[in-house]
Structure 1
Amino acid sequence: MTTTVTLTGTGVPIPSPGRAGPGVLVRCGGIALQFDAGRATVLRLTEAETGLHQLTALFVTHVHSDHVIGLPDVVMGRWIQDHVWKTGPLDIHVPAGEAADFAQRMLEPYAADIALRMEHVQAVPPEARVSTFTCTPGPSLVWSRDGVTVEAVAVHHEPVPDAVAYRVRTPDGTVVISGDTRVCDEVQELSQEADVLVHEACRTTALQTAVAGTPFEKIFSYHADTVALGGLAKRAGVKHLVLTHLIPAPADEAGEAEFVNDVRSGGYQGRISVGRDLMTLAIG
C-alpha cells in the first residue's frame, strides 16, 4: 500500500495563474480524503484523476472563503453525478462554530437549481452530511477507517475562530496539514517525526518592511513566517516539508528558491518542496 499526497491548490484569495484555492488530497488504497476545498478544487481533483464519487470524506480547516468557496461545487458536482455513480452524500467534517454553520447552509443559494434538476433527473435532493467536532489544544480523533485515522488540533489563526490542523496516519506513515496558522507549538507537537508536513508559508521576515503600515501587516501577523517555520520543522524532526498557501506566490524558480532559503535560515536541513498545484508525493 502506498499513501500519496497531492496539492489540489496552493494559492491564496488573490488569484494567481496556475494556482487553485487551498486544498490537499491524501489517498491510501481505496480511501481518498480531501482537506479544504478552495477555488477550482473540482477541476484539480479531476486533473488528479480523482472523481468526486471517489472521495471518502472531506475535512475543513476553517471558515475563510478561500478554503471553502469550492465546497458547494464538490457537493453539487457529486450529487449531479450520483445517478451514474450511486455514491450518495459526502461526509464532511468541520470544527464546530462558524465553519460548521457555513457547511450546513452552503446549499441554500442553489434551491432553485436543485428544484429544477429534481424535476428532470435527480431523485432526491443533495445532502451535506456534516459532522462537527470541538477544537481542542491537543490532538483529538475525528475520523477512522480501515487503518487510516485523522486527528485535529486547534491552531492559532486569530482572529479567525475554530481553526484546526489535521494529522493523517496510514499504514505507510504520517501526513500533517497545517491549515492557516501562525507557527505554533500545537502544529510542532502534531508534526513530531512526520513523514510529510504540508504547511502554509508566508515570507513575513523578508517582506515586513515593505508591508509596514499597510493592511497586509495585519494579515502577516496570523500566517506562518517561513524562517520561523524552518525552526518548527527542525525541532519536530519533519522528514519532508511541503510549502503551500504561498505568500507571495512565486512567479518562477528563483522565487521558489527564496522560500527555500528562508526555511533553511530557520535551521531546517530536511527535504523541502515549494508547492505547485498537482504536485504529488508518495509515502511508503
Structure 2
Amino acid sequence: MNLEAFILGCGGMMPLPYRHLTSVLLRREGDLFLFDGGEGTQVSLRKLNLRWKKINAIFVSHTHADHVTGLPGLLMLSSQVDRDDPLYIFGPPKIAEYIETSRKVLDMYINYQIIVQEITEPGIVYTGPDFHVRAFPLQHTKTCVGYTLEENPRPGAFNPEAAKAKKVPCGPLWSRLQDGETVLSSDGNTVSPEEVLGPQRKGRKFSYVTDTKYLPSIAKEVEDSDLFICEGMFEQALEATAAEKKHMTSIQAATIAKDARVKKMGLIHYSPRYTDSELKTLLNEAKTVFPETVLTRDRMVFPIEYTD
C-alpha cells in the first residue's frame, strides 16, 4: 500500500513567488488527507495533478491566515464534481466559525456535506479501517495542534515452509491465513495464523508539527515517525526571536527529531527573510544535530516506505 507526502507549500507568514504557504497532502492509496491549507495550496495541487477534489479530511493546525486562506477556494471548487462522502475538517476552536463565516460571506455553493469538528483535548480525531490520526497540543500565540497519522501493526511475514509442514495446501487457504483466519489442513487439523506467520510488523507513521515554541513533549508524540514534517523557521542566531514569536529554530526541530528517533525530518514553514539559497543555513545547522534532515520545497514528494 503506497503512502506519500506531497509538500504543497513550505513557506511561513507570507507567500513568495517561489514559495507557497504551508500545506502538506498525504496520499494513502485512494485516501487523501490535507494538513493545513495556506495560500497557493490549489496551485500546487493542480501542478501535481492530484485528485484533490476527493480529499477525505483536512487537519488544520491553527487559524492563522497563512494556514487557512487556501481553504475557501478549495471548498468551492470541490463542488464542481459529484461527491457522496462528507468532507471532514478538524482543527482547534475557531475553525468552525472560520469555515461557516467563509461559506456565508462568499455565498458558497456546496453540494456535499462538510463536517467540522473542533479539537478541545488531545486524542484520536479520525479513524480508518487500519489507521488513525491523533492530535496533540502545541504552544503558539493561539491554540495550535500537531498531528500524527499512524497505521495499525501489520501481520507478520508468511512462512510458506511452516504452512507446508502443517499440511496446508498452497492456494486460497494460504491467503486466508495471511488475512488472520484459522483454516483446516489437508489432514483435518486446525491451523491458526500464529503458527505460520512471523512477529507483527510495524505500520508507518507520519507526523506534522508547525507553529510552536520548542516543547520536549513533542518528541514523545512523534516518536518513531517514518517522516516528520516540522517547522524550522529560524536559524540559531535568532533563537530569541523564535522564542518571542513562539516558533522554533531548525536546531530545536532537529533536537525533537533526534529525541524521537524519527527516520527522516523535513523542515518546513520558513521565515520569508530567507531566500532559497539562504535556507542552507537552516539545513546545515539542523544536520549537526540530526543528519537525516532535508529542506522541503514546494511540490516535493516523499514516499514513505515500510521499514521491513
Question: Which interval holds the TM-score relative to the shorter structure?
Answer: 0.7 to 0.9
Rounded to whole Å, the distance in 2 between the matches of 1:220 and 1:23 is: 24
Q: Distance in 1 between matches of 2:151 and 2:91?
A: 21
Does residue 279 of the first structure (1) align with residue 300 of the second (2)? yes
Which residue of the partner structure matches residue 54 of structure 1?
A: 54
1:20 corresponds to which letter in structure 2?
Answer: H
1:227 aligns with 2:258: no
- 1:268 paired residue number: 290
Query: Residues 169-184 of structure 1: matches in 2 within 5 Å?
Result: 169-170=150-151, 172-184=203-215
Residues 128 and 249 (structure 1), Cα distance of their counterparts in 2 relative to 1, 3 Å cut? farther
**Paired positions, count:** 255
Q: Does 1:106 align with 2:106?
A: no
Could you tell me how far apart the structure 1 residues matched to 2:242 and 2:252 are?
17
Could you say what secondary structure the match of 2:225 adopts? coil
Task: For 1:239, give the aligned amino acid.
Answer: K
Q: Which residue of 2 aligns with 1:5?
A: 5
In the TM superposition, what are the counterparts of 1:83-232 in structure 2 within 5 Å? 85-87=82-84, 89-95=86-92, 97-111=93-107, 114=109, 127-136=113-122, 140-157=123-140, 159-161=141-143, 163-170=144-151, 172-207=203-238, 217=241, 221-232=245-256
Deviations 1:112-146 (A, max 9, x none): x64xxxxxxxxx6565321222133xxx1000113
Identity between Structure 1 and Structure 2 (%): 25
Matched, 1:241 2:265: yes
Contact 1:230–1:263, Cα closer than 8 Å, also in 2: yes
Give the counterpart letter for 2:121 in structure 1. C
TM-score by length of 1: 0.82
Secondary structure in structure 2 of the residue aligned to 1:17: coil
Specify the code of the residue in structure 2 equivalent to 1:48. L
Q: Indicate the SS of the match to 1:228.
A: helix
Partners of 1:218 and 1:192 in 2: CA distance: 24
Deviations 1:214-270 (A, max 9, x none): xxx478530111122222111111110100101246434x423211221134x223x
CA separation of 1:27/1:126 partners in 2, compared to 1, >3 Å: closer, same or farther? closer
Could you say if the C-alpha distance between residues 74 and 186 of structure 1 is closer, same or farther in structure 2, counting changes exceeding 3 Å?
farther
1:246 partner SS: coil
Where is the helix percentage greater, Structure 1 or Structure 2?
1
- The root-mean-square deviation of aligned C-alpha atoms, in Å, is 2.1
Task: Name 1:257's counterpart in structure 2.
Answer: 280
Q: Alpha carbons of 1:204 and 1:45: their partners in 2 closer, same or farther (altered >3 Å)?
A: same
CA distance in 2, matches of 1:248, 1:183: 20
Q: Which structure has the bigger radius of gyration?
A: 2
Residue type of the alignment partner of 1:86: R
Distance 1:218 1:190, change over 3 A: closer
| Cα pair 2:234 2:242 within 8 Å, conserved | no
Please tell me whether the aligned partners of residues 169 and 175 of structure 1 are also in contact (alpha carbons under 8 angstroms): yes
Q: 2-side partners of 1:127 and 1:201: how far apart? A: 36
Structure 1 position 17, deviation (Å): 1.9
Hey, what's the Cα distance between the residues in 1 that align with 2:91 and 2:238?
Answer: 33
Structure number having the greater strand percentage: 1
Note the 1:13-24 alignment, pairs <5 A: 13-24=13-24
Q: Is the 8 A contact 1:203 1:248 kept in 2?
A: no
Question: Is the CA contact (8 Å cut-off) linking 2:235 and 2:282 kept in structure 1?
Answer: no
Q: Give the TM-score normalised by structure 2.
A: 0.76
- Tell me the CA shift for residue 170 of structure 1: 3.0
